[in-house]
């Protein structure tokens, strides 16, 4: 995993990261060769993003300058991710127990991407300090900001697309701009959405939600009375979203199996569901969640656990059944630097 620490204006952060990648010998010429259909859609998305999130487009522009590649080519590649043939797995859950609130996520994808994933600390001039993880640049797939708002996504196959923000851009926007679950749910509902996904959220007050969303429709799931938890995987749970936007394949990458494992664990009467307990669940010690067969060419690339009230982050850089969790203190470090 890359572990950059970026600060300053969005253009400065993008430029610095681009220069680091170029000096490290990274070559993106092959991935920037896109089909005309993908290019046309990406340019349409870029037009929307330059209006809705101009600061993130400035970061892409700086990144392109640092990499010495075309801004348009890089933008099209980034903004058409999480669709057009991309495949992500992922299992997410959040819960409260004994006065603590946790959000957890296993990020599953093709193992050849393991070495190019990033765990990145952002300290923008204008916006929340946050730490996030991603298989992309600029865009985030899970993370937590200085206000204790944690976010994670589950990819779904989109039946249709419309120009707008893809799932990685939505999560990045939320981490940088929102302070609570209610704020995030409200803002997501007003964004032009390009792709289909679940977005799970938890904050320091113990509030939680899963936003099931597509370009045409949004349904917000909340925890049920007496069941202070939520689970999301690579399928919709709400009947309305299932009817209109279900994945084409049932139990896609064992999504339903993973979902059932977590639901059963959270519903168990076992007491003291603390961070150690959550790590055990993420690691597959309570049922199938990350134990993919090698023949699938699919694996958990990282596992993240966010203790939102304590602002603590734990990450296993690899499959958590094989790699230990370590605490990442960069978020609290970044917050302390701004206070000085």
Note the pLDDT tens digit of each residue in 23-58. Answer: 988 887 777 888 898 899 999 999 999 999 999 999
| Helix ranges (DSSP H) in 190-287 | 239-245, 255-267, 275-282
- pLDDT tens profile 70-110: 999 999 999 998 875 566 789 999 999 999 999 999 999 98
Rounded to whole angstroms, the Cα distance separating 14 from 50 reads 16
Tens digit of each residue's pLDDT (9 = 90 or more) over 277-319: 999 999 999 999 999 998 888 999 999 999 999 999 999 999 9
Instruction: Kindly report the length of the chain.
Output: 340
Q: How, if at all, do strands 218-221 and 229-232 pair?
A: unpaired
Please give the biggest Cα pair distance in the chain. 56
What average pLDDT does the segment 190-194 reach?
97
Give the rounded percent of residues in the chain with a pLDDT score beyond 70: 97
Paired tokens of 107: 């990020």
In the prediction, which pLDDT does 32 show? 85
Alpha helices (H) along 83-202: 167-177, 181-189
Q: Which residues contact 237 (CB under 8 A, 6 or more apart)?
A: 210, 212, 221, 259
Q: Is the whole model's pTM more than 0.75, yes or no?
A: yes
For residue 123, the number of C-alpha atoms closer than 13 Å in the C-beta half-sphere is: 15
Indicate the pairing of strand 208-213 with strand 197-202. antiparallel
**Residue 221 in 3-state DSSP?**
strand
Distance CA 139, CA 183 (A): 20
Give helix 54-67 / helix 71-79 axis angle, nearest 10°: 120
Mean pLDDT, to the nearest integer, of 211-239?
Answer: 95
Q: Helix 275-282 and helix 255-267: axis angle, to 10°? A: 150
Mean pLDDT, rounded, for 198-227: 96
- DSSP state for residue 292 in the 8-state scheme: -
Q: What distance in Å separates the CA atoms of residue 109 and residue 88, rounded to the nearest whole number?
A: 5
Can you give the pLDDT at residue 158? Answer: 77
Q: Read off the pLDDT of each residue in 134-151 and give the average, rounded to a whole number.
A: 97
Which tens digit of pLDDT belongs to each residue from 76-86? 999 998 875 56
Take residue 335 and report the two structure tokens written for it.
């917050």
Strands, DSSP E only, in 262-321?
A: 299-307, 312-316
Q: Rounded to whole angstroms, how far apart are CA atoms 66 and 311?
A: 32
**Contacts of residue 161, Cβ cutoff 8 Å, sequence gap at least 6:** 41, 83, 84, 194, 195, 215
Residue with tokens 């850089």: 317
pLDDT at 249 exceeding the cut of 80: no
Q: Strands, DSSP E only, in 98-235?
A: 100-109, 118-124, 130-134, 142-145, 150-155, 197-202, 208-213, 218-221, 229-232
């Amino acid at each position: 995993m890359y572990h950059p620490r970026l600060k300053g204006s969005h253009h400065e952060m993008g430029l610095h990261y681009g220069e680091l990648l170029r000096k490290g010998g990274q070559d993106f010429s092959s991935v920037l060769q896109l089909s005309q259909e993908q290019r046309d859609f990406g340019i349409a998305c870029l037009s929307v993003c330059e209006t809705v999130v101009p600061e993130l487009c400035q970061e892409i522009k700086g990144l392109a300058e640092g990499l010495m590649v075309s801004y348009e080519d890089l933008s099209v590649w980034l903004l058409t991710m999480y669709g057009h043939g991309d495949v992500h797995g992922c299992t997410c859950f959040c819960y409260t127990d004994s006065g603590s609130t946790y959000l957890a996520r296993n990020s599953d994808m093709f193992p050849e991407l393991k070495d190019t994933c990033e765990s990145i600390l952002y300290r923008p001039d204008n916006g929340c300090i946050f730490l996030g993880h991603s298989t992309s640049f600029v865009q985030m797939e899970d993370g937590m900001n200085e206000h204790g708002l944690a976010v994670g996504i589950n990819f779904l196959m989109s039946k249709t697309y419309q120009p707008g923000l893809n799932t990685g851009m939505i999560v990045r926007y939320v981490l940088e701009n929102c302070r609570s679950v209610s704020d995030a749910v409200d803002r997501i509902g007003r964004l032009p959405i390009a792709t289909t996904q679940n977005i799970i959220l938890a904050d320091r007050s113990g509030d939680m939600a899963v936003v099931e969303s597509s370009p045409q429709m949004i349904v917000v799931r909340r925890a049920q009375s007496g069941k202070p938890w939520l689970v999301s995987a690579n399928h919709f749970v709400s009947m309305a979203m299932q009817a209109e936007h279900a994945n084409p394949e049932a139990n896609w990458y064992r999504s339903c199996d993973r979902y059932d494992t977590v639901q059963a664990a959270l519903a168990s009467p076992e007491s003291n569901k603390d961070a150690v307990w959550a790590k055990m669940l993420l690691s597959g010690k309570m049922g199938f969640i990350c134990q993919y067969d090698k023949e699938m060419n699919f694996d958990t690339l990282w596992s993240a656990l966010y203790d939102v009230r304590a602002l603590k982050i734990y990450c296993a850089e690899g499959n958590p059944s094989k790699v230990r969790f370590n605490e990442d203190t960069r978020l609290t470090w970044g917050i302390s630097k701004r206070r000085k």
